Amino acid sequence: MTVNEHPKAIATLSADGVHWIVPHCPICGREHYHGAGGPGANHAEYLGHRVAHCAGQHAGTHGYVLVQAPKGTDQWALLYGRAKP
């Protein structure tokens, strides 16, 4: 494994297009928000490698690769691994 390999973080776009929401950080398991450009922006440009907000708190971690969740993905399902009851 090289230093350029980062875990993938599944992200969903907020309804207003302002944030990419990572419901379940692959490093710390918490929720993180990253800028997505705002309404009308090309949100995909904001995907890719990002510094995790928790980086530095966990030895050897510097970030992750933001990837868009498949269309229709339920944030609850991402977080808990099952459909919202």
Q: Which stretch binds Zn ion (CB under 5 A): 2-10, 23-31, 35-43, 74-82?
A: 23-31
Residue 70 contacts by C-beta under 8 Å, 6 or more apart in sequence? none
Contact 28, 58 (CB under 8 A): yes
Closest CA to 10 of 83, 52, 59, 66: 66
Out of 9, 11, 13, 25, the only residue in the binding site for Zn ion (CB under 5 A) is: 25
Would you count residue 27 as binding Zn ion (CB under 5 A)?
yes
Out of 18, 47, 54, 67, the only residue in the binding site for Zn ion (CB under 5 A) is: 54
Interacting residues toward Zn ion by CB under 5 A:
25, 27-28, 52, 54
